[in-house]
Amino acid sequence: MLCHDGDNIKVVPCSGTLCRIGNHIGIITAKHVWDNPKPNSDRGIKHHKKVKICVGVGAYDLDTKWLSAVFPEATGSKFEAVTPDIAFIQIPSRLSSEFESFNKFFYSIDNNIHKFRDELYNFDGVWFTFGSPEERLNVKEAETPSVTYLTDIADQYREGQWDYISLNVFAEQGKMPEKVDGMSGGGMWRAKFSMTEDLNEFNLHAVIFSGVNFYQTQFGKKYQILGHGPISIYKNLYRMVSGNS
């Protein structure tokens, strides 16, 4: 995603996952991507005139006055992040058909609650995360590349009703952007897989939206991403949004 004020010259990248919860369509992202309390950082989507949703070669501009957000009250902090740091930015349902014409895919939280009921809250499998780091942004060439990083679980825990996941990022030195602004809000995904007995065939059984990253840090040559886990998405945020009809 790109926030801008109508001129497309000064743009601010951010990340999120297009989702459907009940009859609501929108973007699951970090709360500070919507409204950032830090005065020395970009203030978030709600403080810009427009946000451009970019998927593949297509892009769709949304006027931010059409948007609203559902998010929990802040109760604590992690590193420099105010937590919980998760939100659902609601897109008016009347725009659903327009998005579909742009081949925008909305991941159904409801369908996957039922489809993966016994798998949602596990942590086995391969993990990866997406984002659009500002360092890779090329406004002149109109390029807004997203990056995908293979990861594994460093830690997972709960504070109150919210769960948190810390992921180790497998990126060679120099391959990870020095500035990761724009990664926040990106999805954490988990893939279940198996190998045939002869090890010649690799099979994916499920790819599950399992987290939302909101903070990135570096310890020496190691990178970690902190985010909310599946309980925060499929239980807590789901209840907040589905009860906000």
155-183 residue pLDDT tens: 999 999 999 999 988 765 555 556 556 68
pLDDT of residue 91: 92
pLDDT of residue 189: 92
pLDDT of residue 236: 96
The tens digit of pLDDT for each residue in 118-141 reads 888 888 888 888 876 666 565 554
pTM of the model: 0.88
pLDDT of residue 220: 66
201-to-54, 111, 126, 189, 207 alpha-carbon distances in Å: 33, 29, 16, 22, 17
pLDDT of residue 152: 85
pLDDT of residue 8: 55
| 114-147 burial: b if 16+ Cβ within 10 Å, else e | eebeebbeeeebebbbbbbbbebbeeeeeebebb
Classify 216 as helix, strand or coil. Answer: strand
Q: In what order do the strands lie in the sheet with 50-55?
A: 12-13, 2-4, 50-55, 58-63
Closest to 121 (Cα-Cα) out of 15, 217, 232: 232
CA dihedral in degrees (132, 136, 54, 26; nearest 10)?
A: 20
Residues in the chain with pLDDT < 50? 141-142
